[in-house]
Structures are given as structure tokens and as C-alpha cells.
Amino acid sequence: MKPIDFTQVQTPAYIIDERLLIKNLEILKNVMDQTGCKILLAQKAFSMFSVYPIIEKYLAGTTASGLFEAKLGHEEMAGEVHVFNPAYREEEFAEILEVSDHIVFNNTKQFHKFKKRVKEYSIENHKHIDMGIRINPEYSEIETDIYNPCFIGSRLGTRLDDLEGADIDGIDGLHFHTMCEQNSDVLKRTLEIIEEKFGKYLYKMKWLNFGGGHHITRDDYDIETLMNCIIHMRDKYDLQIYLEPGEAVALNTGYLITKVLDTAKNGIDLVIVDTSAACHMPDVLEMPYRPEIIGAGNEGEKKYTYRIGGPTCLAGDIIGDYSFDQPLKEGERLIFCDMAIYTMVKNNTFNGINLPSIATYNETDGIKIIKEFGYLDFKNRLS
């Protein structure tokens, strides 16, 4: 595979390698072909719609967390549009009806609040909109509570106790999302709990949505177990199975190119770059995690170790500690990996820091700048 010449773009910049994106999509498409499931792009992780024409050739549609994502999926990608929100805004619901194929409710209260509107819209517009309930199996193997929808006191999903005896006439399917960056062994154990608790309801449904968090395109992911899980649930309960991964679609397909602005020393060697963890890769602080840099090692692994931080006034705007074979110099470029997911969708202009430009790469067009940002993008978000 021809290497990308990262010197051909001004920093900071996100670059999506379309070759790697297609590689991921081919894996996902194979799962669909082998099992009959439908895989949707979860736009909350990756909503770079300039590459939706590529994605729609492989996947069955998009999933949204609210009105804006639903509209984006409807406008920019062929296929189904599914939407889930913990509590829908009444003033937005008419637009949600216009762009959605599946609407998933967080609980039976929300379902009954909007059920009549869904049915009336479907009749008036000759368009069937499926309705679903998100369930909370009260089982998850996510260790970080901020990402765990099943921790005690979670507002997400309906527990079995709350479903028992409830009127769910009109519900077409169940949805669960209890995973985060996990392998299919976790899915298998989760489905065992779901069958035990919700099996009697599944026989009455048209579909079951496995949600997201499946790292299907990761090198060590057990795809065979995933497919066995899909086929088992499909055949036992006569269900259409959906999955809605976000990370798996664009995992390891993107880079964030940055430049060394200054070097300093305060007990340890420091580097300030023109990329901010707080602004451009918030998950580094929120998750937290340490992104890889091409050619760099762990702290102390190579001869020269630096703590790399961003250009904001936030003392904790630190990306991590890295080591290099040679001393870093002002103007030198560093390439952060896996910068497609949860980066562009979460970035911000805190401190008036400009947003990275967005680009794609393929071997025909080379690096193609899709969007650049400036002062007005910062100003127009304010008042």
C-alpha cells in the first residue's frame, strides 16, 4: 500500500485513508452477507458525510442519537435511518418522523407518549415506521462507568421489572447497547442474559438490535463467534438482526497530523504541538487513553522522551509521554493514529483554538482537502 506523504497538508489536519475505510467496510459487508444481518453506521462516532457515498455501498444505513444525526443520515446516505434518544423533544418529533424508519424509545412511558403520532404519520404518509424499546439487561462488562449504560442508576434503557405487565402493543423490536470497544465473547455472554430475561418478548418481535461497541474490524476480533451469535438469535426467534457499530466502521482509518511549536524543560522534556487533546481528541482526556504516534515508542523505550501537550491554557491538556530515536525540533510533524472516530464529532474551539482541516486520501486523488476552518467558525458558534 502506497504510503501517504503527510508533508503535503498544513497542520493540524485529520486525514481519512479511504483504502483503510474500504477494508473495514468489506469486513462488515461479509458479516452481513454471511448472516443476513443489517449493519448500520453509528454517526455518533463518525459522521464525515463526504465519505458516505463509499459507506452506503457496503452498509444498510445509519443510526442516530437525535434529530440532527437522523437528518444527516437521511440526506447523505442511502438506506435505513434508525434513531434512539433517551427523551424526545416534542417540537422536534415531527421532523424525526419525516426522516426515520425505526424509532427506538427509552421506556414505555416515551413509547406511549409518541405512539399515536407515529401511527397517524404512518397512515397519512403511507410509510411504516417501526417502533422499538431499548432494554437494559442490567449486565455489562464495561469497566468505565461513564461509558457503562448498565451501572446502578443509569437512565438508559428499560429493565425487565419495568417491562413486566406494560402495554407494548405496537412495539416491533428490542434494542440493547451494552458494549464498548469489546470482542464477541462479551456479546455472547450478554445475549445469554438477554435470552434469560427477555426471551419471552423476543418471540413476539420482528427484530433485535445488538447496538454498538462491537470492535469487528480489530485484528484480534473473533468474527466467527459474532456470526454464530447473530445466526442463533435470528433462527431461534425468527428475527431480523441489526448491529450499529461506529468505531468498527472507521477504526484505524484516520490520522491527525500535528506540528511541534516549541520545546521546553520542567523536570522532564516538554513539547507543545498545534493539536490539543481538549479540543481535537477529547477522548484522550475523557476515556482516557494514549493515542499512538507513528515512529514513537513508550516513555523511556527510545533515547529521547517527551511529554506532549497542546496549545491551550488548560494545564491538563496533555496527550501523553512518548519517546523518539532523535530529539524533536520545532516544525517537525507528528502523526497520531486512529483519529477518525470520536474526534471530528467531539472537537471544539475551546480557547479559540482552530479546528483541524478535514481531508481524504486515495491513490487516484492523493490528499484531498474536504473542509478548512477559520475564525468565523469559532465566532459563529457564539453570540
Residue 287 has pLDDT above 90, yes or no: no
The grid coordinates of residue 114 equal 409518541
What's the pTM value of the predicted model, to 2 decimals? 0.95
- Read off the pLDDT band of 144 (50, 70, 90): confident
Domain boundary residue, one of 233, 250, 267 = 250
Q: Are 72 and 86 in contact (CB under 8 A)?
A: no
C-alpha 184/C-alpha 188 separation (Å) is 6
- Mean pLDDT across the chain: 96
Residue 274 shares a structural domain with residue 147: no
77-101 average pLDDT score: 97
In a domain, 112, yes or no: yes
Residue 154 shares a structural domain with residue 75: yes
- Read off the pLDDT band of 250 (50, 70, 90): very high
Give how many domains the chain has, as a whole number.
2
Residue 234 has pLDDT above 90, yes or no: yes
Q: Which domain holds residue 152?
A: 36-250
Domain boundary residue, one of 250, 282, 308 = 250
Residue 356 has pLDDT above 90, yes or no: yes
In a domain, 360, yes or no: yes
163-191 average pLDDT score: 95
224-234 average pLDDT score: 98
Residue 267 shares a structural domain with residue 307: yes
- Read off the pLDDT band of 374 (50, 70, 90): very high
Reported residue count of the chain is 383
Name the DSSP class of 49.
G
Question: Which CATH number do you get for residue 274?
Answer: 2.40.37.10
370-383 average pLDDT score: 96
Residue 73 shares a structural domain with residue 178: yes
Q: In this structure, is the dihedral angle defined by the CA atoms of residues 257, 272, 181 and 241, taken in order, positive or negative? A: negative
- Read off the pLDDT band of 145 (50, 70, 90): confident
